Amino acid sequence: SIAYLNGEFLPLEQARISPLDRGFLFGDGIYEVIPSYGGKLVGFGPHIDRMKEGLSLIEIGLDWDHQQWRDLCEQLCAKNGNGNLGVYLHVSRGADTKRYHAYPEGVQPTVFGFTFDIAEPPVADKTKAKAYKVSTTEDMRWRRCHIKSTALLGNVMHFQQGYAAGNNETILYNADKLVTEASACNVFMVKNGTVFTAPLDNQLLPGITRLMLLDVLKKYTDIPVKEEFFSLADLMAADEVWLTSSSKEVAPVTHVDGKAIGNGQIGAVWEKAQTAFEAHRYDY
């Protein structure tokens, strides 16, 4: 079949996208699927409205109007025989030269389209309609933050929130105002000499640095450690706040939402913790 990629129509099997494309690395993109029967699109206007709204919400600057999208869809359908087709449209933030959560500057969005065969349009005939059987379950999308999934758009958007405000990370809390983690780090606080971090559950990634730090603190220091949830208010009133990640190890945080933590200086417990971590970073 014939696909469209960044200004060109070409055989689908020849279409190539960089592995650095943020659609691949972060799930950083927007898509639509529009049915087309005999060259006639169903719901084209609202499909494109929704895609433009999505692009705008995640700040991908692609300014195609409805006519440009219609031309693309109609050409894709025509080149693929104008049968019963699903027209798949996908815009990602494009391929950056590095892997960094914040939205890159000066990167061209990737625009991809192809068609696939779909069934005949459904008909109002009880003898022909397919009867469906379904399951039910609690909506868990995306309350599976313990899975290190490449679907990182939520993380990327949270990182960007902090980045746009001139900060290096964004600490996240849940509906009960309990601190879970940050957009790409785990979060620790020190209060009255005790180190706290959220216990592992579906609300946070089981960070390897978190695991190593907890073990190092327990084995090689006399600093008490508690895996317990603490609130945003506790965080703001903490003596120290730290972030952990593989690249940062234990990173001291001095300001949260512009407010100083403790005396606004890097803390003494942090120094002990990072020292212990350094001494044992190759043990695991």
Asked if 84 and 117 count as a contact pair (C-beta separation under 8 A), the reply is yes
* Residue 205 binds ligand PLP, judged by CB under 6 A: yes
Torsions phi, psi for 45 (to 5 deg): -55, -55
* Residue 186 binds ligand PLP, judged by CB under 6 A: yes
Tell me, by CB under 6 A, how many residues bind ligand PLP: 13
**How many angstroms separate the Cα of 76 from the Cα of each of 71, 87, 94, 145, 152?**
8, 8, 22, 37, 30
Check if 31 is active-site.
Answer: yes
Retrieve residue 237's tokens.
């009133």
Instruction: State the amino acid at position 162 in one-letter form.
Output: G
Instruction: State the amino acid at position 128 in one-letter form.
Output: K
Q: Which is nearer to ligand PLP, 52 or 210 (CB)?
A: 210
* Residue 181 binds ligand PLP, judged by CB under 6 A: yes
* Residue 207 binds ligand PLP, judged by CB under 6 A: yes
* Residue 245 binds ligand PLP, judged by CB under 6 A: yes
Q: Tokens 């070409």 map to which residue?
A: 10
Of 85, 153, 172, 205, the catalytic one is 205
Which of the residues 151 through 170 are near ligand PLP (CB under 6 A)?
155
Which of 92, 110, 197, 244 contacts ligand PLP by CB under 6 A? 244
Paired strand residues for 197: 188, 227
Check if 205 is active-site.
Answer: yes
Sheet holding 186-191, edge to edge: 225-227, 194-197, 186-191, 240-245, 249-253
Which of 55, 89, 91, 184 contacts ligand PLP by CB under 6 A? 184
Instruction: State the amino acid at position 132 in one-letter form.
Output: Y
Of 148, 177, 218, 219, the catalytic one is 148
Q: Which is nearer to ligand PLP, 47 or 210 (CB)?
A: 210
Residue from 222, 170, 215 nearest 197 by CA = 215
Check if 148 is active-site.
Answer: yes
Least Å distance, CB 110 to ligand PLP, is 23
* Residue 36 binds ligand PLP, judged by CB under 6 A: no
* Residue 48 binds ligand PLP, judged by CB under 6 A: no
Q: Is 176 exposed, middle or buried (0-12, 13-18, 19+ CB in 10 A)?
A: exposed
* Residue 187 binds ligand PLP, judged by CB under 6 A: no
Least Å distance, CB 187 to ligand PLP, is 9
Check if 105 is active-site.
Answer: no
Distance between CA 180 and CA 171 in Å, rounded?
A: 8
Which residues form the interface with ligand PLP (CB under 6 A)?
A: 155, 181, 184-186, 205, 207-210, 244-246
* Residues annotated as part of the active site: 31, 148, 181, 205
